[in-house]
Amino acid sequence: MATPFSKIGMLQCLLVIYLSFSGFGFVGIVQSLGINYGQLGNNLPPPEKVVDLLQSLKLTKVRIYDTNPQILMAFANSTVELTVTVENDILPVLIDPQQALQWVSTRIKPYFPATRITGIAVGNEVFTGGDTTQMTNLVQAMVAIHGALVQLGLDQYIQVSTPSSLAILEESYPASAGIFKPELTVFMTQFLQFLSSTKSPFWINSYPFFAYKDSPNKIPLDYVLFNPNLGMVDPYTKLHYDNMLYAQVDAIIFAMAKLGFQGIEVRVSETGWPSKGDTNEVGATLENAAMYNRNLLRRQMSNEGTPLRPNMRLEVYLFALFNENMKPGPTTERNYGLYQPDITMVYNVGLSSLSTVSSTSTTTISLTSSAPQA
C-alpha cells in the first residue's frame, strides 16, 4: 500500500505531466540556467522588484557587472546565487594583495552569506582587448583576489574566474581544431594554471548570432537556432554537432587540452540572441530570438552536456534579463533582453511569473532543482 509521502509524490508527477500537455507550456527542472542582469538603462526597475521577478520565475543564478551595494542588499536572504564582477579599469589596483584584501573586505564580505555570492568575475573579455599589460594585470588580480578570499575563509564558497569572448581562439571550426591565438599562449597558460589549482570554471561569452550575422549564406540558420537539422560531424573526433553553441564550447575544451589542461569545466557566461537590429544585422528578429532562447531552454531542462562531455551538464547564463536603452553600439546591443524595463515580456520563451509580477503569459516553468549532476 502506498504511503502518504508516495501518494504526494505520485500526485506531483501527475501534475507535472498534466501541465506539460495542457497548454501551460514548459514545466521542468533545471539547475544549470542563469541570467545576466545588466544595469545600462535609465528606466530599469529597482533591484527589489528584479529580485521579486527572478524568484517568481524560480531563477536561481544571476550575474551582475559590478558590485552595486543596492543590488547586493536587495538580493540578501533570497534564493538567488550571485556572480559579481570586478570592472576592467580597477584591475591594475587589485594586483596588490593588500588592495585585493581591502576590495574583498568591503565589496564582498559585508554582504556574505546573506547574499549568496558564489562567483567573482574578474574583468570581462580582457584577453581580447589587445592590452598585454592589462592581461598580465588580470591574472595577478585573480591570484590576489583568491588569496584574499582564502585569508577571509571565503574561498570554499566563492569561485574566481574571468569571462572571455570566443575571439580568444585562432581556430574554432571544427571543434577539434580549437586552439588559442598564439599571442595569448603565455597568458592563457598562466590563467589555466590558476583555474586548475583553484578548481574554478572557464567562462566563455558565446554568441552563435555573430557567426550567422557575418556568414548567413554559409551557416544554416537552423544550426545556430537549435532547430532540427542535419548538423555536422567533426572529421577528426567523429562527434556529431546539431548546434553551434555546443561546438564552440567544445572548441574551448580542445584548445585547453592543447596547452596541457584537461578537466577544467567550461561554462557559458553569456549567450543570447537580439530581438531587433540594424538593417545590416542579419538574423536579428523577434522570431529568431524567441526560437534561440526557447530551444536553449529546452536543452537546459534536459541537463545536457556537449558531445565531448555528454555527462557534464553545461551551465549557461542567458544574456540578458532586460533590454538596456543606454548600451552603446548597434541596435542589437539594446535588444537582447527577455523583458522590457516595465517587466513585460519582449517575447515568450517559456518563462513566466508564478506570481503577479508579470501577467503577460500563462506559461510556467520551474528552474530550481536538487537533481544530481550527471
Which residues does the annotation mark as catalytic?
125, 270
- Reference 149, options 79, 205, 100, 201; nearest CA is 100
Rounded CA-CA distance 336/331 in Å is 10
Phi and psi angles of residue 372, each rounded to the nearest 5 degrees, phi first: -70, 150
The rounded Cα 363 to chain-centroid distance in angstroms is: 23
Rounded CA-CA distance 136/186 in Å is 10
Number of helices (H) and strands (E) in the chain: give both, helices first: 11, 13
Supply the DSSP string of 273-320, one letter for each residue: --S---TTSTT--HHHHHHHHHHHHHHHHTT---SSSTTSPPPEEES-
Strands of 110-172, DSSP E: 116-122, 159-161, 163-165, 169-171
- Reference 249, options 205, 196, 294; nearest CA is 205
